Amino acid sequence: MSERTPTAAPDVTVVIPCMNEAGSLPGVLAAIPDGYRTVVVDNNSTDDTADVARAHGASVIREQIPGYGSAVHAGVLAARTSVVCVLDGDGSMNAGELPRLVASLDSGADLAVGRRRADRRGAWPLYSRLGNAVLAARLRRRYGLPVHDLGAMRAVRRQDLLDLHVDDRRSGYPLQLLVLAGRAHWRVVEHDITYRPRTAGSSKVSGSLKGTIVALHDFWKVIA
């Protein structure tokens, strides 16, 4: 992979899609690397998510169309930097690990994704972990992508992402991104990241068997 000019911190925006994450956001935002810009996308929260985000220095936009993909896409459109990163607002991932993903773009990768590594028992329910592993294996077989996770944390050049035309607006967004990246022969790299229990609230996906089933249904429509 060819080397590029190192990305300066002000050229990176971290997009954080949120619905009712007021309890977790202070810790998430405190870990954002110095100089990175932050856009919190409030996806129909009924708590103080937007106010908490603003109080901790983040820009806030509202996306009324429900769905993870809707929130991420709105954040990417709102960003004005050359690089965008995405991570959840539940405190399960450490934003301090983002620079390693951004550095991979400077080294020639088109997309850098995080492979979640649970730091304690119970951080990642078995049913969710197994579903994720099955889908990642299918990506490896079908597209030759070197991934073992669907990339809940990722870094990518903003215009490249927009040009890829990811149009899933629900839970299938991360998977469709990888499918389209594979079809476009993107250079995808994966790095281990720490994964821990959310710091507040309850998960809309992996926190329940029902949520996981709904997400897997969305995923399977993308990759089947």
- The reply to whether 132 falls in a domain is yes
Residue 8's pLDDT band (boundaries 50, 70, 90)? very high
**Domain-embedded: residue 85:** yes
Per-residue pLDDT band at 190 (split at 50, 70, 90): very high
Count of domains forming the chain: 1
Residue 3 lies in a domain: no
* Cβ–Cβ under 8 Å, residues 189 and 11: no
Is residue 2 a part of any domain in this protein? no
Note whether residue 140 is domain-resident: yes
Residue 139 falls within a domain, yes or no? yes
DSSP letter string, 156-211: EEHHHHHHHT----STTHHHHHHHHHHHTT--EEEEEEEE---SSS--SSTTSHHH
- On whether residue 95 sits in a domain, the answer given is yes
Query: Above pLDDT 70, what percent of the chain?
Result: 86
Residue 179 · residue 221 · CB < 8 Å: no
pTM: 0.90
For 90-125, give one letter per residue: b (16+ CB within 10 A) or e.
bbbbbbebbbebbebbbeebbbbbbbbeeeeeebbb
Q: What is the pLDDT of residues 87-138, one digit of tens each?
A: 999 999 999 999 999 999 999 999 999 999 987 766 677 777 888 898 999 9
CATH number at residue 28: 3.90.550.10
* Residue 125 pLDDT: 75
The predicted structure's pLDDT at residue 179:
96
Q: Is residue 19 part of a domain?
A: yes
Sheet strands (E) in 59-184: 59-62, 83-86, 111-118, 154-157
What residue numbers bound the domain in which 55 lies? 9-223
